[in-house]
Chain A
Amino acid sequence: MAALQISDSELELMKIVWSAGGTALYAQIMEALAKEGRSWQKNTVITLLSRLVDKGFLTVRKLGRRNEYAAAVLEADYQAAQTRALVNKLYAGSAKGLVAALIRQEAISPGDYEELRRFWETGGGES
């Protein structure tokens, strides 16, 4: 699991790749960006994509002269990691403290609690 943080703009690109089923050609990414009303420069997108490759979020494959990007991180995994990052930030790694506080404030349902507990026990604890 990639432990690095990615920026909002990088996340936007990841979402495009994820929603394209995990792989996308550079041209497809540009198209999707245009559809979302993003008119980012070509080099801007290449910079962001290569950062994602460096961080292990994407892998790149040459198909002739075209680049195909494949997500190396599942969306669900990314979100779990984000939760963990939040836990770390707020409660210095003590998910138990966070969960206790959330339950007490009735901010999470028992179902959510179960899910959080499983998340914590199955790997949330690793640093």
Chain B
Amino acid sequence: MREVLKTAVSLSLSGSLVILVLLLLRPLLRERVSRRWQYYIWLLAVLRLLLPLSPEGGPVGALFREPEASSGGGLPAFSAPSAPLPEGGDAAPPDLSAPPAVPGASGREPQAAPLSLPGPAEALALVWLGGALLLLVRKCTACQSFARCLDAGRREISDPALLDLLARAGAQLGVRRVVELYENPLAASPLLLGLVRPRIILPSAAVPEEDFRHTVLHELTHYKRRDMLYKWLVQLTACLHWWNPLVWVMARETDRACELACDEAVLRVLPPEERRAYGDTLLRALESGGGYRAAPGSVSLGESAELLKERLTAIMHFRNTSKRTALLSLLLAAALTTGAAAAGAYTGPARQSAALPSGTGGASPSAQAASTDNLRLRAALLAERAYADGDLAGFSVAFRCLDGEAQTVWLERCYQDKHIAFFRACLSESWAWAEDSLLEQYAERAYQDRTLAFFSLLLKELAPGKKELDAWIRRAEQDRRAGFLAALLAEADRDGEADTLKKQLEVQQMEEYRALGITREGGAYSYNGQPVRIFLDLRPDDSCVTLDMNPKGVLDIRVERGPDGSIQSVREMTGEEAEELFGSLEDDDRPVTVPVKEDRLRENTWHWLGEFTLSEGDRIRYDVSAETGDGMTIGFADMEHKPNDVSYYTVSNRRENGALRCTADFLFDGKTVKPGRYRLFLHAPGELENVRGSVTLDLLEKDPAPAEPPEGPISLLKEEVPAAVRAAMERCGGGTWCRIRHEGRQYLWYGGFPGRWFYAPVWEDGAWLVKFQPRQGQGPGYILLSLPDGIPLNAVLEGEPVHPVEIQA
């Protein structure tokens, strides 16, 4: 044991010498040799610290062997006058008093301590090894939890354009392996994880293309050079020599040198004119991470800013290595290696090498790895921000990376704020409440607070056994809590009873509604006799009692409930409330696709495809083809004018190679044409058949309803139409359907229709579909509808489509 200790101390001393020399040389060499050299030269120190090889009579080895050779002369080794370099002595003591004591101990009782008894030397050796092991384990777990955290909240980047950029960067650097690409807002900066399954994690994929390219080049370079292995080796060394502060200086220096060397390698493959842009990328990366770093408690700002400054300086001074430099580097390396080897180490009396402790973890101890705390802080901030923004996905990502205590605090906060969605996220994302006692407390609270939604959630999460469930059911029965009982019965798989109870509840509910003037008939609600469009009944915790929609309704109403869940009043919803409620359903980022599917478009007709708000930056794509026909025009017309007068962004195509196809892909620049509201049209100058395709709109400003229907058909009396139209109606006669066009309007006419009818126009696939339904009773004796000309109108009478005769008035 004592031998091991002696070897370790001697290695540390010897390594310290190398580290000191390298530190002293650093300012001299910084601009003279390549960054790569400055990075890998640290390997020399690492190897010196790890390998107990020594030439015969190396100074450090001799230092340790001499007192032993004098067989218990009682002289502590450090007072040996021949000690060649004082730095070694300076380096060892500051951390603990351990190293100096070693030689002393070895000198005093060489025989008195047989192997079995733990003497002071053995105790020291144990402290040393224990410390090393503890540090190593801590590093590994920190790395693991760091990687797990980043993996948990990661999202695949699936844009093929970005993946292609990554693939090209890999080819450029000669990296054959497929490197995965993810984004995670928790990452402070882009980073590379994993040796077996290498993956790059970006804080966000939404960066300029150039930045993205530079970033992946940088990270792939790390991968190509296996910097992770190097870093692990350095960390392992540092853990073994944990009591030597110089070793920790070395660890920091290699991290810096690693980034600088990596930058250098990237600059080598970049064209010279792009080098400045690479520096810009680094700066922007710091800027974008700034929001988090400025947080109190974060210590990395000073250090990272300093490193960045050094990196930027290096980029400015970058030049390719000359032959002279290469030679200098080689000579220097040779000299240093000889020196390091010559420093020697104590290799034991029998000169056999000491066994090296081995074993490293799988992840990389990157600079961030040491800062799991930093990650926690970022997670806490992100959670806070996401919560304030109502960003559930962001919250979930951040929440997973919080420690148990912080998670518990969030659970309570979500409960207090009655934020059911976030509460649910807390429940499903946490690993903190492996034991259910905390959740049971919440279930009890939810029961007492009568918050059924929370209670149901907790019930699902707890999945209580039959006994507990029965106890709950009895309690709910006693307390006459029908809602809770229904939830519990459903959970207990007593569906029959649950259904009966639900029906009872529904009847009860309807009675309550009736008392307020709300009735239901044939599935549709009415309020004071008027049909209801949106009917919303929420408990105070935002859980839903009733949500019903009926497009034919005229009223939006909302039932107000008190804290105990009983109905307080009913009132009409304001426009904003209704919008808020349904605006949230439409937060779809995908582009709007307007399908075009027309079997036949008559000569000189305008086919309307909806109204859209165009703003600068919108992307518009047409792809429509027709089987027969000579040409078509797709475009936007402004709202006031007829398309003949003014039309914008029109693309006209003629027949080519047997197919008529109209394609276009352009950006709305907002300059030649003012942003605003436009009507999308397809114009058939001649007859078109089998028109198929779509128009895709990537709009920045989404319309509340993507394809808002144009003006719909209205029913008129004969007396209300212009005389010319009336004359045309006469000509049409009794039993024929006619479409009469007159001054920009079309009139659908069918004389001789006995009885009453009603019609329900539906805007569907760019046309009004009107279904006429006969009704009992006396009617006007005809059908007469009017709508603007150019808007397609299809009529169906009792299931049969009608084909009107076209008449120009």
Contact = CB atoms under 8 A, between A and B. Distances in A.
A46 B168 contact: no
Interface string A34-50: 00001011111011101
Contact of B550 (A8, A10, A46, A104): A104
A43 B170 contact: yes
Nearest to A127: B460
A44 B163 contact: yes
A101 B544 CA distance: 16
A8 B696 CA distance: 16
A9 B524 CA distance: 43
B29 interface: no
Nearest to A104: B550
Contact of B160 (A40, A92, A104): A40
A50 B179 CA distance: 11
A90 interface: yes
A118 interface: no
Interface string A59-70: 000000000000
A122 interface: no
B760 interface: yes
Interface residues of A, number: 23
B392 to A, nearest CB: 13
Interface in B164-185: 164, 166-168, 170-171, 178-181
Given A44-B164, A47-B178, A47-B180, A8 B158 contact: yes
Secondary structure of the A side of the interface? Answer: helix
Contact of A51 (B156, B168, B552, B585): B156
Interface in B71-105: none
A17 B550 CA distance: 42
B762 interface: yes
Contacts of A47: 163, 167, 178, 180-181
B549 interface: yes
B575 interface: no
A69 B180 CA distance: 19
Given A50-B178, A101-B549, A106-B760, A43 B585 contact: no
A46 B160 CA distance: 11
B551 A42 contact: no
Contacts of B180: 47
A104 B178 contact: no
Secondary structure of the B side of the interface? Answer: mixed
Nearest to B549: A101
B551 A9 contact: no
A10 B158 contact: yes
Most B CB contacts (10 A, CB to CB) among A9, A97, A104 go to A104
Contact of B167 (A10, A42, A51): A42
B660 to A, nearest CB: 20
Interface string A73-95: 00000000000000000101000
Interface string B408-451: 00000000000000000000000000000000000000000000
Contacts of A10: 158
A43 B178 contact: yes
Contacts of B355: none
A41 B164 contact: yes
A88 to B, nearest CB: 12
A100 interface: yes
Contacts of B552: 104
B523 interface: yes
Contacts of A48: 158, 160, 163
Contact of A105 (B163, B164, B178, B551): B551
A8 B390 CA distance: 26
B163 A40 contact: yes
Most A CB contacts (10 A, CB to CB) among B160, B179, B181, B548 go to B160
B158 A43 contact: no
Contact of A40 (B164, B170, B548, B585): B164
Contacts of B160: 9, 38, 40, 44, 48
Nearest to B544: A92
A43 B551 contact: no
Nearest to B175: A43
B571 to A, nearest CB: 23
Interface of B: 156, 158-160, 163-164, 166-168, 170-171, 178-181, 523-524, 544, 547-552, 585, 760, 762
24 contacts: A38-B160, A41-B163, A41-B164, A41-B167, A41-B168, A42-B167, A43-B167, A43-B178, A43-B179, A44-B166, A44-B167, A46-B178, A47-B163, A48-B158, A51-B156, A90-B585, A92-B544, A97-B547, A97-B548, A100-B523, A104-B524, A104-B551, A105-B551, A106-B760
Given A8-B158, A41-B164, A44-B166, 6 more contacts: A9-B160, A47-B163, A47-B167, A90-B585, A92-B544, A106-B762
